Amino acid sequence: MQFDASTFSDPAMRPQLEQYYEAKKAALIASLEERGDTQPQQLTFKLPDGTEQTATAIPMNAEFVEKALVSFDKWLEFQAESFEMFGPDSLGMAEQQMDRMQANHPDSSSGVRSTFSSDGKLLAYVTADGGLATSNGADYLQTLAQKANELGLGGQERIDFLNTEIEKALSSKHPDLDIATYDGSNMPSKREFAAMWQPGFNVDQHYAEGLAEAEAQMESAMSWHRNWERNMGEIRSFLLSMQEAA
């Protein structure tokens, strides 16, 4: 039996899926009737992307829940969409974030290609991917990055353009402008770059916090995926049992 997102839009499967939906709905209502009313309470939960949300649970009873439940058609739509939200490929983003964090540890390359400073203060730097970061009142240089975007520049051409234009823009305001350029042979690590320009910055702590956040997001994504797998397994088993009984 094929079982994927298309199952929930297959007209031939609609009668069996509706039986499952009505059975689950009846079981939920019966459970709430037996339990009685619940009291409002604050709930904190994590979304698949790792962000947290807090909400106040509405006092629940069987009548309220029965009215609040989505229609069968809406339920079908959500089940089909859940394959993308929580299915086999849903862990990809969290895994990629984890891989990036593990690869970009404090002793990995900073990716900095050039720095522009004056009187010991960092004003701007250009990265290997053509990014531009500014500080100490040099935010106006971001218009150069916008111009590079408009020109469609990329790669080394973009880096060369930014280096030239930044030097022009800063030279008139900072006669003592100091420019340093790097390539693959002498590019500073993240730890070395922080020591140059952010002496009080704890790169190890920053990395540990980022890694912990990535791990939490990964754990949350896996939890959502496991719940999804259990739900889909239950639906699939129900459909198989219906086919066997037919």
Q: pLDDT tens across 165-215, in order?
A: 999 999 999 999 999 999 989 999 999 999 999 989 999 999 999 999 999
Low-confidence ranges of the chain (pLDDT < 50): 62
H or E element that contains 202: none
Residue type, 143: T
Supply the pTM of this predicted model.
0.67
Measure Cα distances from 151 to 127, 145, 158, 166 in Å.
18, 10, 9, 16
User: What are the residues facing 109 on neighbouring strands?
Assistant: 189
SS (H, E, C) 78-103: HHHHHHHHHCCCCCHHHHHHHHHHHH
